[in-house]
Structure 1
């Protein structure tokens, strides 16, 4: 078995891909996309899902449970969106609002759980997951209230969330390159009572 201590930290790769994907998708939700968004978003969703699965695997090898769970689960989310968008584009199948709402609510619940986990990390990560919870809640409301304006609001919040994730990614990369902390990440709201890796 290879020495996992020799594996570079995979998290920045996952963060960068997630931030890029979220920024693009959120811009489309906010109404900034054109008529050919499917041609960009579908390949992007598939490729980022693949990156997330790879990053999640390396995080498991490095015993980083939180990051592995995050990248694997949101990888499944992005892959599901890609397949739904592809199926719609090729007229393979359609989705109904009730089932789509169940899909979004399930990921809303998971995101709330992950948000609770972030309270023992840094402020930047807490903010990113707070914004991500808001994105999913707004998507839920768009279906419950049958109001597409909430999708646009989700897009705006998603753009801010992507900037936050870009910031965390930049902090990790700059810290690795300069050998010191460059961008402040803030402190945790609660001090963990164990030493479990995340």
Structure 2
């Protein structure tokens, strides 16, 4: 005679979303301060793009996958890879082997357009989530399209405007990440997410 034992497994792992949101938010703010014209592209942005925007978000995405969160896994892993590919677009043409592979402004425009389309569909997913995430993904969709238009047309004023919009987008992600941390630490709503 055999007996079955039912074991309930409780997930005691931390919420990885704040790491991903903060990685995305801080890196986005810094890049878009550059896009708005305050300073040149530099190693600080590249370092943030590789490590906080890239690797930290990929780690968050893998952790979301472990938590069975398809949206979080897809978003964080994809945008982590976005940052790594963006840094490659900047750095590879400056190498001896990559000089002939420099992307044209039109090519980068299509790259940004594809990310805008991806983000638009991810935004639709946020309609079942918090208002804070809706703001992040709506403003990110607009940002990608503004940057794509800027690259297609060569309109530097559009890039500057996109920079200011991108600062808002990054700050909204930063807020959402910090709100999740503080709300959990205090066990109540310190910063509302909607």
Q: TM-score, normalised by structure 2?
A: 0.88
Of 13, 25, 28, the residue aligned with 2:31 is 25
Tell me the CA shift for residue 111 of structure 1.
0.3
Aligned residues between the structures:
182
The answer (yes or no) to whether the contact 2:26–2:171 under 8 Å persists in 1 is: no
Which residue of the partner structure matches residue 73 of structure 2?
A: 68
Which residue of the partner structure matches residue 92 of structure 2?
A: 87
Partner SS for 1:184:
coil
Name structure 1 gaps, 5 residues minimum.
187-198
Map 1:1-198; keep pairs closer than 5 Å.
Answer: 5-34=11-40, 37-48=41-52, 49-90=54-95, 92-93=98-99, 94-186=102-194
> Structure 1: how far apart are the matches of 2:179 and 2:105?
39
> Structure 2: how far apart are the matches of 1:68 and 1:160?
24
> Structure 1: how far apart are the matches of 2:184 and 2:190?
9
> Structure 2: how far apart are the matches of 1:144 and 1:40?
27
Q: 1:4 to 1:106 in 2, by over 3 A?
A: farther
Partner SS for 2:129:
coil
Tell me the CA shift for residue 89 of structure 1.
4.0
> Structure 1 residues 138-147 or 109-118, which shifts more?
138-147
* Structure of larger gyration radius: 2
After superposition, the C-alpha distances for 1:15-64 in whole angstroms (9 at most, x for unaligned) are: 11111100100100000114xx3221222111121111111111000001
- RMSD over aligned Cα, in angstroms? 1.5
